[in-house]
Amino acid sequence: MFILCQSYKKNYIKIVLVFFIADLSAPFLACWSRFTTWRRMRTQSGSSTTGTSNSSPEQTLRAGGKWFKKFWRSPTAQTNNNGSSTTDGHPSPTEAEKPVVNPNFEECLEGQYLFEAAQLLIDREKHLFGEITEADAIKAHEEGVKKLAADQKALEKRIEQTVQQSLSLSSEEEWSALTSAVKAINLEEEQDQLWRQRCRTPPAWRPKKWKEHHDKVLHELVYSRLENPSSPTGDQVNLSSIQADIQSMGRQLKEDMQWVVEVVKNCYPPEMDICNFYARQYHQTFSARLRKIADFVLDDKDCSFLLRWVKEFYPGILEKPELASNINTEELGNLLPDELLKPLEEQYLSKQQSDLMIFIGRVLDEAKKEWDQGKEPTRDDGCYVSPVAYDVIQFINGIVTSAHITVRDPHKAQKITSNLTDFMQRYQNFHEVIIKQNKPHSKAFIKANLSCVKQFRDFLITESHLFPEDVRENCLRGLTEMKQSAHTYLLTPVHKILKPHYQKVGTSDWLKKNTFEKLLNSAEEELRELQGLTQSCHQELIGQLQQEMTVEYVRRLLKGEVKLKDKDRQLMAYMTVKENAERLHNLFARMGSKQDWLKEILTKIAEVLKLQDIPAIQMQIISLGSAYPDLSEKHVSALLKLKTNLSKADRKIVKTTLSDTLKESRADPGTRRFFSKVEVR
């Protein structure tokens, strides 16, 4: 048995260490090492922190928990079967008997307990620069001050190293070290503030301004990461050096900011607003780098790439939910100032406009090539179709929509389509050439063009935001002219064939049923020749034919070749017109026309022919004039002249009634126009 006893005066406790050993050397040296370490710690603690520490023993013990367990674990300690620990076969002291030991500064520094290390230094600072005379401070504490200054520098260096590793933390210990470093920084800031409030001369190291230094370190860290970003080499394929540089910086920024909000944020108190601090640093650094790039004369690809990062990709990164919830993006502002941004946007939009005109021009050139080669357009479900409208619409929609996202201004993006009128004029000229040459495959091409006209028209109306208003109106006007010329081209041969049958309308032979029957039979045969159009275009075309046939019918009737001298002939004319209206409507309805209102016109005219009382005739004319304000007195006069039993005075009364009705009805823009197409001499 070897017994070593040592007694100390006040502020020390009596320690008795007893060792039972078979071999005295190893246990004795291990024990003596732990004892001298404990003595040094107690000595330093007593000389520098007694009465000045703000930390309780419990707090200090928790802060250095891992070190304590390691420090007090005996190398020969064992655990017996009943759970109690033994030392060389003898029971160890109970937990209550074990001394509570605070780690010293060096041990805190080594264990990355930076907050606790800072607290120890502050306690020593308070002790050294407390209420003592200057003579005492110079003589008795000169060595202590030097040691404290050295320790301050050591702690500052360790904290700086820890902060520099903020974006590359790889373990729980490193996260804890950063958290402890941040707490130490804030603690030192409080101590700086306390010294400002005192009337005594502060230590040479005060104020430390560790918060300011912390910000500077992070600024340099961000700068270095964007200056030397890590980016997979595979991402640099087919990129210019400028594009690769921008993409690498952007990727690094994105990854680092995600790391900040997911990890680093948890190491800082909320009041430090660390996410916004990092966001500002990255924004300012990235902006400075991009400004240098923007100062160069960039080619179109580099210009587009830079602009998309500034206006599209970078805002997209900040708009991600995990970042947007932690960062005030509005206060960051734009990456580039307007004086640099505007030229980039103009160059980008001009390039997009040029590309669009080239692409859609090629589409039209391909259609012309097929026309020149005598090829018919392809069929889809029996309908002639052309890829012109589809391809052009895809180009316009894709390029303008992408530009809208890039420049984030729909009005600016419309510049891309400002030359679309030129394309439509070229397309219209090609359309007229097809009609003029009237080749065997002209009708097929015109039918395919009608489908394109419909697609273009729908696109210009539904996606009006892609076009300047004047361009859109000019294009719509040109498309209307193309549709009308196509209808005229396809329907003129039909009217030519039906003309002999038209000539019978309004004559004495007209009152015979078989006369109109021939007209309907011929019309049905010609309608079959109009097949090959898409459903909507076919419906419009036969609706146009139905309207033109109705107009011709009324025009022939109002020529006045037939005289309805009495009630019986007027009744016969009524029945003929009504039956013609019904059969004409049924024919076109069967072919897909939706122009039901044309039947109503003929029915109202028939009613006028039947009626005998002037008031009744007046009411019918009022009804007809209200529904169709383009009904003129000439039309009414020609209609009433068919009823030869009406006097001139009666006709004048009816026309006066119409005049009063038209004054009220002409102001309604929603009414249909029909009689203005009916020429009356």
pLDDT of residue 117: 62
Mean pLDDT of all residues belonging to the chain: 81
Lowest mean pLDDT among 29-33, 207-211, 505-509, 542-546: 29-33
Lowest mean pLDDT among 170-179, 303-312, 581-590, 655-664: 655-664
Residues 441-462 have pLDDT tens digits of 999 999 999 999 999 999 999 9
Instruction: Return contacts of 671-674, CB within 8 angstroms, 24+ apart.
Output: 671/627, 671/628, 671/629, 672/597, 672/627, 672/628, 673/628, 673/630, 674/547, 674/550, 674/551, 674/598, 674/601, 674/628, 674/630
Mean pLDDT, to the nearest integer, of 333-342?
93
For domain 504-677, the CATH superfamily is Exocyst complex component Sec6, C-terminal domain (1.10.357.70)
What does the domain layout of the chain look like in residue ranges? 341-486, 504-677
Residues 614-639 have pLDDT tens digits of 999 999 999 898 888 888 999 999 99
pLDDT of residue 141: 60
Residues 521-574 have pLDDT tens digits of 999 999 988 999 999 999 999 999 999 999 999 999 999 888 889 999 999 999
Mean pLDDT, to the nearest integer, of 321-345?
93
**660 — phi, psi (to 5°)?**
-65, -35
Cβ atoms of 486 and 539 within 8 Å: the answer is no
In 10 A of CB 106, how many CB atoms? 15
Q: What is residue 318's three-state secondary structure?
A: helix
Q: Encoding tokens for residue 399?
A: 């390029």
pLDDT at 470 over 90: yes
Work out the pLDDT band at 116, boundaries 50, 70, 90: low
pLDDT at 30 over 60: no
Among residues of the chain, what percentage have pLDDT more than 70?
75
Work out the pLDDT band at 439, boundaries 50, 70, 90: very high
pLDDT of residue 512: 75
Work out the pLDDT band at 92, boundaries 50, 70, 90: very low
Q: What is residue 154's three-state secondary structure?
A: helix
Q: Which residue has the tokens 């020749």?
A: 529
Rounded Cα gap, residues 604 and 415, in angstroms = 52
- In sequence order, which residues have a C-beta less than 8 Å from that of residue 276 and are 6 or more positions away? 326, 327, 328, 331
pLDDT at 438 over 90: yes
Work out the pLDDT band at 289, boundaries 50, 70, 90: very high
What is the 3 state secondary structure string of 74-123? CCCEEECCCCCEEECCEECCCHHHCCCCCCCHHHHHHCCCHHHHHHHHHH
Work out the pLDDT band at 604, boundaries 50, 70, 90: very high
Q: Encoding tokens for residue 209?
A: 């301004």
Rounded Cα gap, residues 518 and 643, in angstroms = 27
pLDDT of residue 19: 34
pLDDT at 28 over 90: no
Lowest mean pLDDT among 56-60, 270-274, 418-422, 548-552: 56-60
pLDDT of residue 181: 87
pTM: 0.72
- In sequence order, which residues have a C-beta less than 8 Å from that of residue 223 and are 6 or more positions away? 285
Work out the pLDDT band at 237, boundaries 50, 70, 90: confident
pLDDT of residue 276: 96
Mean pLDDT, to the nearest integer, of 75-103?
46
Query: Is the model more confident about 381 or about 198?
Result: 381
Q: What is residue 439's three-state secondary structure?
A: coil
Mean pLDDT, to the nearest integer, of 308-313?
94
Residues 165-216 have pLDDT tens digits of 899 888 888 888 899 889 888 888 888 777 677 766 666 666 778 888 999 9
pLDDT at 82 over 70: no
Work out the pLDDT band at 672, boundaries 50, 70, 90: confident
Helices (H) then strands (E): counts for the chain: 26, 7
**609 — phi, psi (to 5°)?**
-65, -30
Query: Is the model more confident about 53 or about 497?
Result: 497
List the CATH code of the domain at 341-486.
Answer: 1.10.357.50
Q: Is 232 left (phi over 0), alpha (psi -120 to 50) or beta?
A: beta
pLDDT of residue 130: 60
Please report the sign of the dihedral spanned by the C-alpha atoms of residue 29, residue 31, residue 37, residue 43: negative
- In sequence order, which residues have a C-beta less than 8 Å from that of residue 191 and are 6 or more positions away? 122, 125, 206, 208
Rounded Cα gap, residues 590 and 527, in angstroms = 11
